[in-house]
Amino acid sequence: MATTRAALTEHDIRMLVKGATPDERALAAHKLCRSIDRADLDDEQRALAAEILRVMAADAAELVRRALAVTLRNSPTLPADVANRLARDVESVSLPVISASPVFSDADLAEIVRLGGPVRQLAVAKRPRLSGKVAALLVEQGGEEVVAAVCANDNARLSEAALQRALERFARSETVLSAVAYRSALPLSVTERLIDMVGEQLRDHILATHPLSAERTLELILGATERATIDLVDQAGRAVDAKAFAGHLASVGRLTPSLLLRALAHGHMTFFEWGVAELAGVPHHRTWLMIHDAGTLGLKAICERAGLPPRLFPALRAGVDAFHALEYDGRPGDRERFQEHMIQRFLTASPAVSREDADYLLDRADRLHEQAKTAAAG
């Protein structure tokens, strides 16, 4: 108990209970909360600390309760019953705790969402972590601002069904649609639904960031002219299921030597492997071994088996060698820089590339250079 008394001094405890003014009691509350949070307490000491915190939570002065809420908003030492009491307090007290406290259970947060009103719902939506259950409840019960906030929170576990529900409820809300579009990852079905709901600027971001199925990509490429910015190579490299993507392109006659050449020049090695395997009718693991063979025989044999023109072999060899020689550097814009360098080295060593493919790759290298500069500056 001596350790506890050193951490929680008699003077501070008396000041907390008997301080003449709210300011004095708030100062004592802040000091005690910091001591409790930092002290290494045993079970008996923790029980005493919890009782002291309950005294603070019941203080008539809002200033004291706010000192408690702000000081221990991130602390696991705050008792759950005290956190829930503070969550029902006035907003200046409740919001710091609701926004950050790790002691709430999903059931606690769900109750706040159901009964707390829009301001508290918004605080829940912005929490550092949100389970799928709480995130889905916010999507179902929250207003436009709340749903946009939870969709913009990449630490919220939003299921495919929850994201689809957000699009259904707020199909005309640019704020919600933008929040969904800018999530770091989206299920394929959500991306493909979203693409038809947004304006040109958001559509370009979606196409540059999220994968589409091969069927949807071709549909868009062959569709309206304003969607001509869609690049089959980009989507092939971004495909979640490279095998299925390559298989569909082959079935509709779009898995061409030029496409494989361009994908390889971009460093989309996984798609290149599956594309060659599809055309060759050889299992992927065997195709992988032949493509990455240190000599020349494996790659040449699998390319011949896939029916790729012999004139392309020097270019494909150069592309595989360039891929092995380069690596991501981990700095902002590394993906763009990698692809830019890959294309440059590929073109330098590949006289067999057609004029059309060379023009395409040079144009892409210019765009990647600008994207890398923008990412590094940001």
The CB-based long-range contact list for 197-201 (8 Å cut-off, 24+ gap) reads 197/167, 197/171, 199/174, 200/226
What are the tokens at 361?
A: 């790759």
d(CA 300, CA 28): 78
CA distances to 206, 270, 272, 340, 370 from 337, rounded to whole Å, are: 21, 19, 20, 5, 10
All structural domains of the chain with their residue ranges: 1-88, 230-378
pLDDT for 329 equals 60
Which residue in 17, 53, 9 sits closest to 33, CA to CA?
Answer: 53
pLDDT for 151 equals 97
d(CA 344, CA 266): 10
Which residue in 37, 38, 33 sits closest to 12, CA to CA?
Answer: 33
- Let me know: does 266 contact 342? Beta carbons within 8 Å: yes
| Residue 99 neighbours by CB under 8 Å, 6+ apart | 73, 123, 124, 126, 127
Which residue in 88, 128, 84 sits closest to 103, CA to CA?
Answer: 84
- Let me know: does 280 contact 255? Beta carbons within 8 Å: no
Q: How far is CA 170 from the centre of its chain?
A: 21
pLDDT for 276 equals 95
pLDDT for 227 equals 47
pLDDT for 14 equals 59
Q: Give the containing element (helix H, strand E) for 276.
A: helix 269-280
Q: How far is CA 314 from the centre of its chain?
A: 39
Which residue in 128, 129, 125 sits closest to 138, CA to CA?
Answer: 125
d(CA 241, CA 97): 42
pLDDT for 201 equals 82
pLDDT for 198 equals 86
pLDDT in tens, the chain (378 residues): 344 444 555 555 655 555 557 887 788 778 888 878 777 777 777 788 788 888 888 888 899 899 999 999 999 989 999 999 999 999 999 999 999 999 999 999 999 999 999 999 999 999 999 999 999 999 999 999 999 999 999 999 999 999 999 999 999 999 999 999 999 999 999 999 998 898 878 888 888 888 888 888 877 776 654 444 567 888 888 888 999 999 999 998 889 888 888 888 888 899 999 999 999 999 999 999 999 986 778 899 999 999 998 888 888 888 888 888 877 665 655 666 677 777 777 777 666 667 777 677 767 666 665 665 665 565
CA-only gyration radius of the chain, Å: 29
Phi, psi of 156, deg, nearest 5: -90, 125
The amino acid at residue 340 is E
| Residue 196 neighbours by CB under 8 Å, 6+ apart | none
d(CA 128, CA 124): 9
Is residue 124 exposed (0-12), middle (13-18) or buried (19+ Cβ within 10 Å)?
buried
| Residue 30 neighbours by CB under 8 Å, 6+ apart | 67, 71
d(CA 109, CA 133): 10
Tell me the sheet residues that pair with 130.
156
d(CA 119, CA 307): 62
- Let me know: does 343 contact 365? Beta carbons within 8 Å: yes
